Amino acid sequence: MRFASVPLAICKSRMRIVETSRCVASLRVFREPVAQAAGFFPTFATIMTESIHKPLIHYVEQEILPRYDHFDAAHRRNHAEEVIERSLALAGHYDVNINMVYAIAAYHDTGLSEGRDLHHLASGRIIRNDKKLRQWFSEGQIETMAQAAEDHRASSGHEPRSIYGKIVAEADRLILPEKVIRRTIQYTRDHFPDYDKEQQYQRFRAHLLEKYSDSGYLKLWLPESDNAPRLEELRKTIRDEKALRAAFEESFSKNLDLS
Ligand SMILES: [Fe+2]
Ligand SMILES: [Fe+2]
């Protein structure tokens, strides 16, 4: 078993350039004309071929990603591809096995075939039971991968057991301040229909403080995640009561327009 590697590659994730001994590449990166024009990449295919085991990519694309086609709209194939992309970008910051990172991201939601509630555990089981993976990974690596898939839902609970779990858990979520605000308002409206507007605001504020504030329970597992600056942006609003009230008012009125 031998995985080729790129000794020095300059990889670009969205607009951020990362120099790394491992190549961080993604379909989106390949499509970026700026990156190609700047000569950062020979071709996406070359980088992928050299950094991730080719038969593994082939197997994932033929057998694993198509499973997502049957899941709900938020968990279709493009979700798995985005988690792969973000996982590979994060992996560039750590001394990790890029093939494991790739496979974990590809498998992480396959357990949805057994329902949503325990899908993370089912994904772990699917990895453990996949005989094909034993062609490329040791038993120890497979166990680490299975545990990482199990830990991918650790968005606010226990800490993932390994760096692999932290990478996939962080890659699996997108903290977008506007969306958090909109969803919190929607949730409040749906679950507390008797609340007047001020009561809704107080519940909205309490939830954001409890989860997203400086002392909130939400934890970022990796500081290099794109979620870090976005969470800071949200925290700035939460710290400033006036700004928080304004954000509520703006999103609240937009939501009213929609209903
Ligand atoms: Fe999931
Ligand atoms: Fe996911």
Residue 71 in contact with residue 112, Cβ under 8 Å?
A: yes
Q: What is the Cβ-side half-sphere exposure of residue 22, based on CA atoms within 13 angstroms?
A: 19
Tens of pLDDT, residues 2-37: 343 333 333 433 333 333 333 344 444 443 444 444
For residue 23, what is the DSSP state? -
| 150 CA distance to ligand 2 middle (Å) | 11
The pocket of ion ligand 1, defined by CB under 5 A, consists of 109
The pocket of ion ligand 2, defined by CB under 5 A, consists of 109, 172
| Angle between helices 241-258 and 197-212 in degrees, nearest 10 | 120
| 46 CA distance to ligand 1 middle (Å) | 30
Residue 135, domain member (yes or no): yes
Residue 258, domain member (yes or no): no
Full domain range(s) for residue 224 = 177-253
CA torsion sign for 71, 72, 73, 79 is negative
- 37 and 149 co-located in one domain: yes
| 127 CA distance to ligand 1 middle (Å) | 14
Tens of pLDDT, residues 40-50: 444 343 444 46
Q: Is the pLDDT of residue 113 over 50?
A: yes
Q: What is the DSSP string of 182-240?
A: HHHHHHHHHH-TT--HHHHHHHHHHHHHHHHSTT-S---S-TTSTHHHHHHHHHHHHH-
- 18 and 97 co-located in one domain: yes
| 108 CA distance to ligand 1 middle (Å) | 6
Tens of pLDDT, residues 130-183: 999 999 999 999 999 999 999 998 655 689 999 999 999 999 998 999 999 998
- 195 and 126 co-located in one domain: no
What pTM value is reported for the model?
0.74
What average pLDDT is seen over the chain? 83
| 203 CA distance to ligand 2 middle (Å) | 28
Counted domains in the chain: 2
| 153 CA distance to ligand 1 middle (Å) | 6
Q: pLDDT over 70 for what percent of the chain?
A: 78
Which DSSP helix (H) or strand (E) runs through 125?
helix 119-129
